[in-house]
């Protein structure tokens, strides 16, 4: 597959180049030159397939001309070793649980696929790729466990000391081997500044091949389309004539963009809800046609606290920069913190089901959409982006109950923490990275 940059100012590239580079040299985001398409017959054949069958069919259309198919199939099986259940709340409302991966959030889907694509392409080039990430939590842990043990790759992650939860810190610091955690005496902005400085440090870049693992990488986006296709085909078996609405708790809009791609590929999807918290730049764009990003405001749903979403350029590209076209497919709905807590409580009371705050934003937005627009009988799917235990304080506040820790987490909680403490001056990061070739974790 050939990819273009959204700004079209640089040369088209292969999947290998798009994956290893991340961002196009002109600052644009890579998009498929033509969106792959599944015919009605192809889709009918996938209907009884497993998650991994569907994932392979989609991945093949993007990477099948660059990776031998038997190898691609193995890589898919290595990525998705956990279930993607569709939990039925009522006959028309489903929660797609995307939190059964090793770090309990949907970012495992993107990070695990990206890691294997990066490893495959790096091996072909006989290169060792160093992934450098600043993290305030979820992304870093998914990347740590996604790249752990992948040949030809290593990860250096920077996190702010004392500013992540204990569970997150364990996820960031216990993978070991080719994963190095740096505990920075500073805040998240310090971590981001240090990473940016490393990317422009030419003498360092002569020694190391650096890449980032943020959600602008096309290889993080493609695997997120798999679970839309999977849910749409599951629902089609139950309700052959109804096209489901997907409600997507959004921050950088990578998740929603992947859903739009799944629909463009021909999977049976009706409409999307861009569910946001008070950071509502996209909702306002959909209402007014003007994109005016604002500084990020802090909310209960921290993973969605993004004032200027990085994937918005891609979303715009797919709708030819036309907010009316985008509005035909996507409705933006913003949900307040008070509504989020109230939703966790009322869903728990009504269904006995505990959802994390991000998922609750999605549920609330679907509810409001149904009141204002869709008639009864249209199936709705809320994407559940995190396990409630990751945000247990909000759950406790809303329901009064503790959330038990899943078994896989107990194992991570009992592993020894391995992190190198550094200050917030760039020289310290540069020294660590320069000496990396001689280090073992």
Ligand X SMILES: *Cc1c(COP(=O)(O)O)cnc(C)c1O
Q: Which residues bind ligand X (CB under 6 A)?
A: 105, 107, 138, 215, 249-255, 303-304, 358, 385-386
CB of 306 to ligand X, least distance (A): 7
Q: Is the separation of the CB atoms in 302 and 137 below 8 Å?
A: yes
CB of 160 to ligand X, least distance (A): 17
Burial letters 276-315, b for 16+ CB under 10 A, else e: bbbbbbbbbbbeeeebeeeeeeebbbebbbbeebbbbbbb
Q: With respect to ligand X, which residue has the nearer C-beta, 186 or 254?
A: 254
Q: With respect to ligand X, which residue has the nearer C-beta, 38 or 317?
A: 317
Q: With respect to ligand X, which residue has the nearer C-beta, 28 or 249?
A: 249
Q: With respect to ligand X, which residue has the nearer C-beta, 85 or 176?
A: 85
CB of 394 to ligand X, least distance (A): 12
Own/partner pairs, 37-45, CB within 8 angstroms, 24+ separation: 37/264, 37/265, 37/266, 38/265, 38/266, 38/267, 39/266, 40/266, 42/266, 43/233, 43/266, 43/267, 43/268
Q: With respect to ligand X, which residue has the nearer C-beta, 160 or 249?
A: 249
Best CA proximity match to 214, nearest among 21, 70, 411, 440 = 21
Q: Is the separation of the CB atoms in 63 and 117 below 8 Å?
A: yes
Q: With respect to ligand X, which residue has the nearer C-beta, 19 or 247?
A: 247
CB of 383 to ligand X, least distance (A): 8
Q: Is the separation of the CB atoms in 383 and 84 below 8 Å?
A: no
* Tokens standing for residue 431: 């020294």
CB of 226 to ligand X, least distance (A): 14
Positive/negative CA dihedral, 72, 254, 98, 390: positive
Q: With respect to ligand X, which residue has the nearer C-beta, 211 or 277?
A: 277
CB of 212 to ligand X, least distance (A): 15
Three-state SS string across 197-263, please? HHHCCHHHHHHCEEECCCCCCHHHHHHHHHHHHHHHHHHHHHCCCCCCEEEEECCCCHHHHHHHHHH
Best CA proximity match to 137, nearest among 173, 98, 97, 87 = 173
How far is the C-alpha of 278 from the C-alpha of 302, rounded, in Å? 11
CB of 29 to ligand X, least distance (A): 13
CB of 408 to ligand X, least distance (A): 17
Element (H, E) at 14: strand 13-14
Which of these is catalytic: 16, 107, 263, 390?
A: 107
Q: What is the largest CA-CA distance in the chain?
A: 63
* Tokens standing for residue 263: 């629909």
Three-state SS string across 392-432, please? HHHHHHHHCCCCCCCHHHHHHHHCCCCCEEECCCHHHHHHH
Catalytic residue status for 207: no
Q: With respect to ligand X, which residue has the nearer C-beta, 187 or 305?
A: 305
How far is the C-alpha of 293 from the C-alpha of 181, rounded, in Å? 32
Residues known to be catalytic? 107
């Amino acid at each position: 597959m050939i990819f273009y940059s959204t700004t079209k100012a640089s040369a088209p590239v292969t999947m290998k180049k798009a994956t290893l580079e991340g961002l196009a040299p002109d600052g644009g985001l890579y998009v498929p030159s033509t969106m792959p398409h599944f015919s009605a017959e192809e889709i009918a054949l996938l209907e009884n397939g497993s998650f991994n069958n569907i994932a392979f069919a989609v991945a093949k259309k993007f990477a099948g001309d660059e990776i031998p198919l038997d190898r691609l199939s193995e890589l898919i099986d290595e990525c998705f070793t956990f279930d993607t259940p569709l939990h039925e709340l009522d006959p028309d409302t489903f929660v797609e649980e995307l939190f059964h991966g090793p770090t309990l959030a949907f970012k495992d889907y993107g990070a695990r696929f990206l890691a294997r694509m990066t490893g495959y392409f790096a091996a072909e080039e006989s290169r060792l790729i160093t992934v450098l990430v600043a993290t305030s939590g979820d992304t870093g842990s998914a990347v740590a466990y996604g790249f752990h043990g992948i040949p030809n790759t290593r990860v250096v992650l920077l996190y702010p000391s004392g500013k992540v939860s204990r569970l997150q810190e364990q996820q960031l610091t216990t993978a070991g081997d080719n994963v190095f955690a740096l505990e920075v005496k500073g805040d998240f902005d310090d971590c981001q500044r240090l990473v940016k400085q490393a990317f422009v440090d030419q003498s360092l870049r002569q020694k190391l091949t650096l890449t980032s693992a943020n959600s602008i990488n096309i290889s993080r986006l493609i695997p997120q389309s798999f679970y839309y296709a999977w849910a749409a085909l599951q629902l089609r078996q139950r309700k052959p004539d109804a096209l489901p609405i997907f409600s997507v708790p959004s921050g950088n809009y990578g998740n929603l963009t992947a859903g739009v791609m799944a629909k463009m590929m021909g999977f049976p999807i009706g409409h999307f809800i861009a569910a946001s918290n008070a950071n509502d730049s996209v909702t306002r764009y959909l209402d007014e046609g003007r994109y005016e990003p604002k500084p990020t405001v802090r909310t209960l749903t921290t993973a969605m606290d993004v004032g200027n979403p990085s994937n918005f350029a891609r979303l715009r590209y797919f709708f030819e920069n036309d907010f009316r076209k985008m509005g035909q497919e996507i409705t933006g709905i913003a949900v307040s913190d008070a509504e989020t807590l109230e939703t966790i409580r009322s869903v728990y009371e009504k269904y006995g089901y505990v959802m994390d705050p991000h998922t609750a934003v999605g549920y609330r937005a679907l509810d409001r959409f149904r009141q204002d627009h869709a008639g009864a009988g249209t199936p709705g799917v809320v994407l559940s982006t995190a396990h409630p235990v990751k945000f247990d304080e909000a759950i406790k506040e809303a329901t009064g109950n503790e959330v038990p820790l899943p078994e896989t987490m107990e194992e991570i909680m009992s592993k020894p923490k391995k992190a190198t403490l550094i200050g917030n001056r760039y020289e310290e990061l540069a020294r660590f990275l320069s000496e990396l070739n001689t280090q073992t974790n």
